[in-house]
Chains A and B, each alone.
Chain A
Amino acid sequence: MFATFAIGQTVPVELFGFSSETAAVPLFIDLSIGLQLLAFAILLGGIYGLVALGLTMIFGVMDVINFAHGALMVVGMYAVWWMTNGLGLNPFLTIPIAVALLFVFGVLIHLTTIAPIIDASQENQLIVTFGVLLIIVSTIEIAFSADPQSLDIDLGSVGIAGIYLPEGQLYALVFAILAVIVSWAFLQYTQLGRAIRGTADNRDAAQYVGINVPRIDYLTFGLGAALAGLAGAVIPLFQQINPHLGDAYLINAFVIVVLGGLGSFPGALLGGMIIGFVHVFGQFYLPGSGYQIAIFCIFILVLLLKPSGLLGGDSNE
């Protein structure tokens, strides 16, 4: 994929309409740089996939667009940060605690805010989840201030043949892959999982065959929140956190969910990898935040060529 030697072909920055005077980015790059970028793309893609998992689950089953997903991630971030820095717990021990906490929190949010309006128009649900987002983010800002925070640990990185892998991101990737496998197995092989899938396919029919749909709803929202919590919980391992960090991930997570196919877990991971790849290489080749243009161009292309998403079924149509 990458040439070992630069062949001197350059892409003038002006081509993209930017005014930077550092004129050119080589189109072909050194193999070691290419591999380093590829490693970052995979690591970032894993995190993006993890962020998108909960979002795709809640929308796939409940048809609710959860704007509070980023805020739930932030709760996961601060739970890990507080338990690690405040209580002195091992950060890896705090991650499952944060996930459990977010599951309970998600169920409570559903019971108090979503369930009463589950049959209302989607606009109402949208406004309610947006309100939940504001409440959560503002509460965290009041409790912990808007200052960025970091864990009091430095995990460092692993160097393999000149390629550096930040350990925090490596652990996050492992968590992402495990989360996809466990979630997929849960939905495929457990009775509750089958009930969730049945509800996702046809809510009315699910009710007729005896599935307790309201119960499935709150469990699904809880699981979605737990996945958001997991995504948030691993972020302090490699990045500073602040009450608004969830927003930075959420917009791309929406894109990933559509790209991978609504309700598809493997699709979320695949979509995350694609966006991670475009993000990292776009960042390398395009000036400033130009990679976002590339992300949305690919998003539009997928919508035009395969609107159900890469791994979405026809039922999404």
Chain B
Amino acid sequence: MGTRSNRNPRRKFLKYIGAAGTVGLAGCIGADPGEDDDVDSDTVVIGSNHPLSGNLGGTGTRMDNAVQLAAMLKNEAGGIESLDGAELEVISGDNEGAQELGGEISDELIDDGADVLTGCFSSPVTNAATRAAERAGVPFVISVSVADAILQGAEMEYIYRPQPPATQMAVDHAELMPQAIRDAGQDIDTAGIYYIDIDFGQSVRDGLEEELPKHDIEVVETVGIGFGETADTQVTQLQAADPDAVIAISYEGETVELVRAMDDQDYQPPFLTGCANEALNDRRALEQMGDTTEGALATNFALDPTNDRAGEVRERFEDEFDQSFDANVAMTYAATEVIIAAIEEAGSSEPDAINDALAEIEVTDHIAAMPPITFDENGENENALAPLFQVQDLQDRVVAPAEFAESEIDL
């Protein structure tokens, strides 16, 4: 359009659109993991590899704070007893939720003195981060990441996952959710799946599509949503398919959009459920979504409501950071408890000693609603569990299995 110099504006514009696509405009500035170079020899260093910025930065920051809080409480209690009260130090790296940064941040944390690592929330990032830790021979306890492929078939020796993986999440949901509904005398024959269209959502969706028919539930619709989208079209699709249950596999933002679109289109399925859905056990999000979520059933790893200490941790977290304590925070805290228990058990800050301890450990005193944590030869928790909870008075209440239930199911 202009005449400045010899240019073809359209071609230049197109060239830079290509550049925009390449960089994904995901640029974010995070904490420099290299800041913490001076590590005291009387400390054991935990490297926290989470998204502190980017689309997942909100939850990632809370997860990082959970690691910080677990270390802080241990230090307040006198530090690592088997190391004469050695203190825990947490160094944090921002992976921005970007797969290409997962391994890089792990390497940087190890270079900066991390004796053991945890992370990363997004499964592709965790995949990359754990490979880097495995190569370096530094143990890595996954805080939250659901994809089966991170561990299964990978023959890793330094990687452990306390939470249930995607398949287990789907198995628990496909079993517990319809059973609870049928036990209450109601029918459920069909389901529609609403999932975040990334590795996490796809993994759990695939698991549900396999598991639900085993419990006589036909999947009649499957709709995906991307980051930053509204859920209008997806809700129209779900409404047209008219399933008995809409199962949401999504982060907070996408779940809020689902509920908003349901309200806008005056659509309320007989059952709203969630599988590995963080919003349905985040009380701040529940308050925001309001009555549409009342009675919703969901399976996810959760805080153990029968454990007094879990309640205290939740309160301390909310006081300390003024942030909500959702399932991801609870699971990250529990993963850090596993790390701390392994350091105690090892009586050493050496990565190999910590790894040996992790391979044999049984952690009974943790805040997650699941039996003692102990790992199989793949590094998966043999007792991993995603309990069923229900939204009652806009609060997440565990209703099954019985040993963790704090409330009766109310349909």
Contact = CB atoms under 8 A, between A and B. Distances in A.
Interface of A: 19-22, 29-30, 33, 36-37, 40, 44, 59-63, 65, 67, 70, 119, 122, 126, 130, 133-134, 137-138, 141, 145-148, 150, 154, 156-157, 159, 164, 166, 169, 199-205, 238-240, 242-245, 247-251, 254-255, 257-258, 262-263, 280, 283-284, 287-289, 303, 307-309, 312, 315-317
Contact of A262 (B10, B224, B263): B10
B13 A133 contact: no
Contacts, number: 188
Contacts of B260: 238-239
A146 B53 contact: yes
B234 interface: yes
A283 B256 contact: no
A258 B17 CA distance: 10
Nearest to A280: B233
A22 B1 contact: no
A63 B7 contact: yes
Nearest to B205: A20
Q: Which 6 A-B pairs have the closest CB atoms?
A: A248-B228, A146-B57, A147-B58, A288-B224, A157-B264, A146-B58
A145 B54 CA distance: 10
B209 interface: yes
Interface in B1-58: 1-4, 7-10, 12-14, 16-17, 19-21, 23-29, 52-58
Contacts of A44: 230, 232
Interface stretch (B164-172, B215-223, B329-337, B349-357): B215-223
Contact of B4 (A33, A204, A280, A312): A204
Nearest to A202: B3
B240 interface: yes
A154 B263 contact: yes
Given A20-B222, A156-B263, A283-B233, A138 B28 contact: yes
Contacts of A70: 25
21 contacts: A21-B219, A21-B222, A61-B2, A126-B19, A138-B53, A141-B28, A146-B57, A146-B58, A150-B256, A154-B263, A166-B232, A201-B1, A242-B253, A244-B227, A245-B228, A251-B25, A254-B17, A289-B197, A315-B1, A316-B1, A316-B9
B226 interface: yes
